[in-house]
Amino acid sequence: MILYDYFRSSASFRVRIVLQLKKLNYQTKQIHLLNNGGEQFSIEYKTINPQSRVPSLKDGNVVITQSLAIIDYLEDKYPQDGIYPIDPIVKAQVKAFALTIACDIHPLNNSSVIKYLKETFAISEEKAQKWYAHWIISGFHALEEKLKKSAGKYCFGDDITLADICLIPQVYNAKRFNVEEISAFPIINRIYYMAMTHPAFIAASPESVVAIEHE
Ligand SMILES: N[C@@H](CCC(=O)N[C@@H](CS)C(=O)NCC(=O)O)C(=O)O
């Protein structure tokens, strides 16, 4: 399997966590989102993903795009170390938590959205940062409330689920963008720091990707 990846992409980070949790063999091809005007826009990569986004997963002759579709594909094909609770209600709650991040927080702060705001509407760096922080903080308020009822060691009890797989990369990004207000979410922070000691999360982290690429 080949993962078309960018070390800083939080959507790619989600997929790397699942690949690591399930201990699958895969190669990565880094698609640098900034170099050369954005390698995601190259003709070569557009044949892989016409949407010019990462991640994409190539398995044999098949290409799958969209991190959550890739994750569900991996879950169906390699059910070991499953990422969903068995209880249908809790499973739906896990998905709702993950979709809050993947559909309602992340897309508003994607690099192409921020670039469009800056270039088309002449939004300053300071205002762009405010925009970024606003969607993180409003989304995290809702997630922290949910966690008061569901969290154990991880977001839903003591097992890693899709909720953690989406949350940790989003927190990582918020810290990278210096959103100081996220320290106001104690459960999110506790889960983040604990998850980042787990071998799969460590191996999937941007730092580990960079270290491997420079070996
Ligand atoms: N919903 C997509 C989002 C993919 C996405 O937006 N990826 C970002 C990196 S995190 C990207 O490729 N951005 C490139 C760009 O916006 O030009 C998924 O979950 O895979």
Pocket probe for ligand 1: among 66, 111, 167, the residue whose CB has the most ligand atoms within 8 Å is 111
Distance 11 CA to ligand 1 centre (A): 6
Residue 126 belongs to what domain range? 88-198
User: For the chain, percent helix, then strand, then coil, each to nearest 5?
Assistant: 65, 10, 25
Token pair of 46 as six digits: 């557009």
pTM comes to: 0.96
**In terms of domains, do 94 and 147 share one?**
yes
Mean per-residue pLDDT of the chain = 96
**In terms of domains, do 97 and 177 share one?**
yes
CATH (domain of 175): 1.20.1050.10
**In terms of domains, do 72 and 167 share one?**
no
What is residue 32's predicted lDDT score, i.e. its pLDDT? 94
Distance 107 CA to ligand 1 centre (A): 8
CATH (domain of 37): 3.40.30.10
**Spatial distance between the Cα atoms of 81 and 50, rounded to a whole number of angstroms:** 32
Nearest CA, atom 12, ligand 1: 53
**In terms of domains, do 122 and 20 share one?**
no
Position 215 pLDDT exceeds 70:
no
| Contact status, residue 76 vs residue 22, Cβ threshold 8 Å | no
**In terms of domains, do 129 and 175 share one?**
yes
Sheet strands side by side (includes 27-30): 27-30, 2-5, 56-59, 62-65
Ranking 12-16, 43-47, 210-214 by mean pLDDT, the lowest is 210-214
**In terms of domains, do 136 and 205 share one?**
no
**In terms of domains, do 97 and 134 share one?**
yes
| Contact status, residue 85 vs residue 91, Cβ threshold 8 Å | yes
**In terms of domains, do 61 and 101 share one?**
no
Pocket probe for ligand 1: among 110, 116, 177, the residue whose CB has the most ligand atoms within 8 Å is 110
**In terms of domains, do 27 and 99 share one?**
no
- The total domain count for the chain is 2
Which atom of ligand 1 has the smallest separation from the CA of 68? Answer: 19
- How far is it between the farthest Cα atoms of the chain? 48
**Spatial distance between the Cα atoms of 42 and 22, rounded to a whole number of angstroms:** 31
Phi, psi at residue 157, to the nearest 5°?
A: 70, -150
Residues with CB under 6 A from ligand 1: 9-11, 33, 38, 40, 52-55, 66-68, 102, 110-112
**In terms of domains, do 28 and 68 share one?**
yes
| Tens digit of each residue's pLDDT (9 = 90 or more) over 79-94 | 999 999 999 999 999 9
**In terms of domains, do 10 and 102 share one?**
no
Nearest CA, atom 2, ligand 1: 66
| Contact status, residue 15 vs residue 67, Cβ threshold 8 Å | yes
Share of the chain above pLDDT 70, in %: 99
**In terms of domains, do 48 and 144 share one?**
no
Which atom of ligand 1 has the smallest separation from the CA of 41? Answer: 17
